[in-house]
Amino acid sequence: MRYGLCMGINDYPGDENDLSGCLNDVNDTAQLLTKRGFSVNTLVDAAATRAGILGQMRAVLQAAVAHDSVVISFSGHGTWMPDIDGDEPDHRDEAWCPYDFEDAVVLDDEIYATITTYKQPDVRLLLIADSCHSGTVCRAVGPDLGPKARPRFMPPSRLPQYKTLAQVAATRDAPPRGKVQEVPGTVLLAGCTDREVSYDAVFHDRPNGALTYFALSTLAKLPVGVTYDAWYKAIRKRLPNPEYPQTPQLVCPVAARSWRAVT
């Protein structure tokens, strides 16, 4: 079986937080997956709360059994939080901003724990993160790209959770710095590096995330059965570019690079 979960948020609380291309990302990704035989669920806007995101991820991973394939995508604001468990060399945990981000975000540690807890070893998972993993607000501003592009970044200083974690981090000895481990059986396609932003963009007068647009349009031109490595190399021919200076990342075990992409 093939399972898909496509999540995205345009309509965040507060008009200044809204994005434009995330629901198109969801619909475009869901359409491609459906054509490829995936059973797809979507989670958008007010339904994409922290509990909803983690719950739906858990459900789709629990449904998959050995030799099944799962694709999970998220399009929305990203941010970072102070790392307090010592697994991030840059002292920052990356995070997704759910609809109820003012209460709590979804940390990369929690995404990792959900995958490793509920995914069976022989299930192949593709995780697409079209959101910012920016390190600083000045990085998030980036070059002046005009009204058609906006970083998908939520400044951590605006989030109550940031203050709480920062206080915890300040009161404890610094733990030993670890290396973030790759998850067996899992491929992560991220929109940018931890110090960059992913852009909410416009292509042919239609909003999309830059990663999602180039990833899907590139994949459509490649033969079915292309490897993740070949797909990623094709994406990197399109991003970064002068309009969208973000560097997509492919994070996975070496052997996974030769897997057939999105099958």
What pLDDT score does 140 carry?
27
Confidence class for position 238, pLDDT limits 50, 70, 90 = very high
How many domains does the chain divide into?
1
pTM for the full model?
0.87
Q: What does the pLDDT average to over 10-39?
A: 96
Dist CA 93 CA 109 (whole Å): 7
Q: Residues 99-140: pLDDT tens digits? A: 999 999 998 889 999 999 999 999 999 999 999 863 222 222
* Residue 212 within a domain: yes
Q: What does the pLDDT average to over 28-37?
A: 98
Closest CA to 186 of 233, 128, 232, 242: 128
Q: Degrees (nearest 5) of the Cα angle 98, 162, 246?
A: 60
Q: Degrees (nearest 5) of the Cα angle 49, 52, 58?
A: 145
What pLDDT score does 249 carry?
93
What is the SS3 assignment for 127?
Answer: strand
DSSP 210: H
Position 142 pLDDT exceeds 70: no
CATH code for position 54: 3.40.50.1460
* Residue 238 within a domain: yes
Q: What does the pLDDT average to over 34-62?
A: 98
Dist CA 50 CA 255 (whole Å): 32
What pLDDT score does 206 carry?
97
* Residue 59 within a domain: yes
What pLDDT score does 164 carry?
58
Position 145 pLDDT exceeds 50: no
* Residue 56 within a domain: yes
Q: What does the pLDDT average to over 196-216?
A: 96
Answer whether the bond into residue 242 is a cis peptide, omega within 30°.
Answer: no
Domain containing 229 equals 2-258
Position 175 pLDDT exceeds 80: no
Position 57 pLDDT exceeds 60: yes
* Residue 221 within a domain: yes
Query: Looking at per-residue confidence, does 213 or 81 come out higher?
Result: 213
* Residue 94 within a domain: yes
Helix or strand run (H / E) with residue 161: helix 160-170
> What average pLDDT does the structure give for the chain?
85
Query: Looking at per-residue confidence, does 191 or 140 come out higher?
Result: 191
What pLDDT score does 134 carry?
36
Q: Degrees (nearest 5) of the Cα angle 81, 83, 85?
A: 145
* Residue 263 within a domain: no
Position 146 pLDDT exceeds 50: no
Dist CA 34 CA 49 (whole Å): 24
Position 154 pLDDT exceeds 90: no
Query: Looking at per-residue confidence, does 158 or 217 come out higher?
Result: 217
Closest CA to 78 of 11, 4, 129, 118: 129
Dist CA 226 CA 221 (whole Å): 10
Q: Residues 67-95: pLDDT tens digits? A: 999 999 999 999 987 766 554 444 567 89
